[in-house]
Amino acid sequence: MDQIKISIFAFLLLLFQNCSDKVVPPIGIDPLPSEAQLNYQKMEYNGFIHFNMNTFSNMEWGYGDEKPSQFNPSALDARQWARIMKDAGMKGIIITAKHHDGFCLWPSQFTEHSVKNSPWQQGKGDVLKDLSEACKEYGLKFGVYLSPWDRNHADYGKPEYITYFRNQLRELLTNYGEIFEVWFDGANGGDGYYGGSNEIRKVDKLNYYDWENTYKLVYELQPNAIIFSDAGPGCRWIGNENGFSYPTTWSPLLKDSVYGGMPEYGEKYSMGQENGTHWVPGEADVSIRPGWYYHEYEDHKVKSISELLEIYYRSIGQNSTLLLNFPVDKRGLIHENDEVQVMKLAAKIKEDFANNLALSAICSASNERGTTFHASNITDGNNETYWATDDSIINASIAIDFKNEIVFNRIVLQEYIRLGQRIQKFKIEAKRGDNWETIADETTIGYKRILRLKDTKTSSIRLTVEKAKACPTISNFEVFLAPKLLIPPLISRDRKGLVNIMMPEEGVKIFYTLDGSVPTTLSEVYSGEILLPRGGTIKAIAEYDDRVSEVAEVRFDISSGNWNIIGDDENLIKAIDGNPDTWMSNKTTENDELAINLNEKLNLKGFTYLPTQQRYVTGFISQYEFYTSMDGKKWYLAKKGEFGNIENSPILQTVNFDPIEAKFIKLKVIKTVDGNPGSFAEVGIITI
């Protein structure tokens, strides 16, 4: 009913505005966004805070048996978080009020597993209160993440837990002012502490939470809030944790076919559907580091400016909002490295879109729906005005003519989504002399589409809508020339310890250091002869045309050149060949393990496991046991545990343990995500 009211209101408003020329605006094409969804999509870019018990237990998914006494930040400053995100151009902040381990960042009256029993601020602290106040000070909107899964609570999986869950939700939605987004994770059910039961509990993800009544509670307490989950209803997960939406991304979704944590969601539903029944726009979430929570060993793995810029263009630039995560450290601060990188991103975005070349251009169209919806609306800077054609005209074009030839490489397009998402296929052409040359052939636009193109010289650009669900409505057409970004070098090492530093462009010089210092153009020039079989840190920069890239840094441990795999299968060597793009898997789940002879006695401090990086994956290890041995016969258990969230975040897994001497290691698979034999892209050791 709300969508119908909005559609009628928009129709009457535009009809009143256009009464002078009696031009009737287009009718909305269902589904239509609510006013709250429109406001949400206009935000475009928000910050995510992962800070909780996992920060102090050095885990991604806590088991639930952690003690409140572990939570003790030394210098927590929510104002610092808000300041950084405001300066970075973000419009709101969402915080993990309670993650899967069940620990609450606010003094919940319904559990003892919260900050009220921690040493931080003598148990009188409230992280949510601090952050909500900081958001108000800096003009940011405030949102909360509340995990439906609770590995601490004794009643999880029972009907009583739903009452507990809603009681906590009510606390969050009544005590901290206006909430713009409520975030529900799709991870539900599995093994956990569960009040001391230490068992596996599975739930019916479709029915257990009675989401319909939970959503009613949210809207009762926060009527303008956007609810995030796989199925929305306010916005939806984009289906990966890389921060990427898709070249074809629809805001409509077949919502009634989706539920949280469904196995086929990413493949079938995450990109939306042309025939979707509900307006549920995509939200792309990604962390600025490999992990969602802070780990000191990732301080040098903060995403580069080129990686962050790629995320920006493939999320906001592909009809999605962007939710960029900051793993707040044990001090309670956003780490300095993270701040530096996000500010570089903010500066680069500002640089890329500094000068809209279309502002002074002349617009013309093959068809116009009267003077009210004329072509010049697309360059007037007002997203509430738009170009539209007659109802009978689905295929139409609109051109921007410049007074002189220009050079450009970016185009920003926006549909007038109050009337629905319409365009199914379009192309961009540039005029060369008397001819038009196609330079982009695309599908959806939606709220915003940003095209990255080669530097193109032209006097005119034309957008042609080739297929649409109804007459097209374009509210914005911008043209830019973005300065090129010199990306940092790509550093890798083969099994024998030979380092390879690559650049995708020719004519680029590479300078490097091995002593931990920051390289400059006076440092050693890379010539292809760097051997690091015993490990070390290499830092490198690229230089081209007086421009210098960011520093690339990789820390290597002992290479696998002298190791031997124990077993007869020749494919097993792929697990230690130094190539992340190759992988091996055992044929059965019986005796599912990988044993390695190190051929020397080493002081081991941990191990690493990289799951397969292929598109169609299998055998991600979720639970493991790691053994060491001096003779390959008598084995000692050094560590057992789980790789939390590995299905959605298949990054390098790093596991530390107390130092132990060994000549042999064995990684045993206890459980995989899909029940198939474990797969191994790379297995390594930690000695440094």
Asked if residue 79 and residue 217 are part of one domain, the reply reads yes
Length of the chain: 688
Confidence of residue 615 (pLDDT cuts 50, 70, 90): confident
| Residue 505, amino acid | E
**In the numeric block, which tokens belong to residue 487?**
């990306």
**In the numeric block, which tokens belong to residue 189?**
């059910």
Domain count, the chain: 4
* Residue keyed to tokens 């879109």: 353
Q: Is residue 135 part of a domain?
A: yes
DSSP letters along 196-226, please?
GT-EEE---TTTTT-HHHHHHHHHHH-TTPE
Question: How many Å apart are CA 662 and CA 665, to the nearest integer?
Answer: 7
> Per-residue pLDDT for 5 more than 70?
no
Estimate to the nearest angstrom the gap between the alpha carbon of 408 and the chain centroid.
29
- What number of CA atoms fall less than 13 Å from residue 317's CA on the CB side? 22
Q: pLDDT: is 548 or 1 the higher one?
A: 548
* Domain-terminating residue out of 309, 331, 351: 351
Asked if residue 568 and residue 552 are part of one domain, the reply reads no
Q: Domain with 451 in it: what CATH number? A: 2.60.120.260
- DSSP designation for 683: E
Asked if residue 221 and residue 296 are part of one domain, the reply reads yes
**In the numeric block, which tokens belong to residue 642?**
């789980």
> Does an H or E element contain 605, and which?
strand 593-610
Asked if residue 167 and residue 122 are part of one domain, the reply reads yes
pLDDT tens profile 242-258: 999 999 999 999 999 99
Q: What mean pLDDT comes out for the span 567-584?
A: 90
Asked if residue 521 and residue 405 are part of one domain, the reply reads no
What are the φ/ψ torsions at residue 171 (nearest 5 degrees)?
Answer: -60, -45
Estimate to the nearest angstrom the gap between the alpha carbon of 104 and the chain centroid.
24
Q: Domain with 502 in it: what CATH number? A: 2.60.40.10
State the sign of the Cα–Cα–Cα–Cα dihedral 439, 440, 441, 447: negative
Q: Are 96 and 354 in contact (CB under 8 A)?
A: no
Q: Is residue 244 part of a domain?
A: yes
Asked if residue 64 and residue 174 are part of one domain, the reply reads yes
Asked if residue 580 and residue 548 are part of one domain, the reply reads no
Question: How many Å apart are CA 573 and CA 567, to the nearest integer?
Answer: 10
Q: What mean pLDDT comes out for the span 139-162?
A: 98
Q: What mean pLDDT comes out for the span 80-105?
A: 98
Question: How many Å apart are CA 234 and CA 576, to the nearest integer?
Answer: 45
* Domain-terminating residue out of 480, 511, 545: 480
Q: Is residue 21 part of a domain?
A: no
Confidence of residue 15 (pLDDT cuts 50, 70, 90): very low
Confidence of residue 22 (pLDDT cuts 50, 70, 90): low
The answer, yes or no, to whether the previous bond of 489 is cis (omega within 30 of 0) is no
pLDDT tens profile 50-87: 999 999 999 999 999 999 999 999 999 999 999 999 99
**Least-confidence region, from 208-222, 280-294, 297-311, 503-517:** 503-517
Q: Which domain range does residue 625 map to?
A: 564-686
**In the numeric block, which tokens belong to residue 485?**
């970004």
**In the numeric block, which tokens belong to residue 392?**
């009978």
Question: How many Å apart are CA 549 and CA 485, to the nearest integer?
Answer: 8
Q: Are 121 and 114 in contact (CB under 8 A)?
A: no
Question: How many Å apart are CA 484 and CA 469, to the nearest integer?
Answer: 37
Question: What's the mean pLDDT when you consider all of the chain?
Answer: 94
Q: Domain with 291 in it: what CATH number? A: 3.20.20.80
User: In 445-475, which positions are buried (b, 16+ CB within 10 angstroms) versus exposed (e)?
Assistant: bbbbbbbeeeebebbbbbbbbbebebbbbbb
Q: Is residue 8 part of a domain?
A: no
pLDDT tens profile 196-215: 999 999 999 889 999 999 99
Q: Is residue 1 part of a domain?
A: no
Q: How do strand 524-525 and strand 509-513 relate by DSSP bridges?
A: antiparallel
Asked if residue 462 and residue 506 are part of one domain, the reply reads no
> Per-residue pLDDT for 259 more than 90?
no
Q: How do strand 679-680 and strand 490-493 relate by DSSP bridges?
A: unpaired
Q: Is residue 255 part of a domain?
A: yes
DSSP letters along 32-74, please?
---HHHHHHHHH-EEEEEE-SHHHHHT-SS--S---GGG---S
Position 467 scores a pLDDT of 97
Estimate to the nearest angstrom the gap between the alpha carbon of 250 and the chain centroid.
18
* Domain-terminating residue out of 480, 507, 524: 480
Q: Is residue 413 part of a domain?
A: yes
Question: What pTM was computed for the model?
Answer: 0.93
Confidence of residue 8 (pLDDT cuts 50, 70, 90): low
**Least-confidence region, from 8-17, 167-176, 604-613, 632-641:** 8-17
Position 552 scores a pLDDT of 96
Position 4 scores a pLDDT of 47
**Beta bridge partner(s), residue 636:** 628
> Per-residue pLDDT for 18 more than 60?
no
Q: pLDDT: is 13 or 67 the higher one?
A: 67
Q: How do strand 235-237 and strand 226-229 relate by DSSP bridges?
A: parallel
pLDDT tens profile 461-471: 999 999 999 99
Asked if residue 396 and residue 501 are part of one domain, the reply reads no
Q: Is residue 23 part of a domain?
A: no
Asked if residue 73 and residue 193 are part of one domain, the reply reads yes
What are the φ/ψ torsions at residue 316 (nearest 5 degrees)?
Answer: -60, -35
3-state class (DSSP) for residue 6: helix
| CA-angle at 272, arms to 50 and 88, nearest 5° | 35
Q: Are 436 and 415 in contact (CB under 8 A)?
A: no
> Per-residue pLDDT for 16 more than 50?
no
Nearest to 324, CA basis, from 287, 370, 292: 287
Nearest to 470, CA basis, from 13, 14, 30: 30
Q: Burial of 556 by CB count in 10 Å (0-12 exposed, 13-18 middle, 19+ buried)?
A: buried
Q: What is the dihedral of CA 625, 631, 632, 636, to 10 degrees?
A: -20
User: In 494-506, which positions are buried (b, 16+ CB within 10 angstroms) versus exposed (e)?
Assistant: ebebbbebebeee
Asked if residue 215 and residue 154 are part of one domain, the reply reads yes
Asked if residue 192 and residue 134 are part of one domain, the reply reads yes
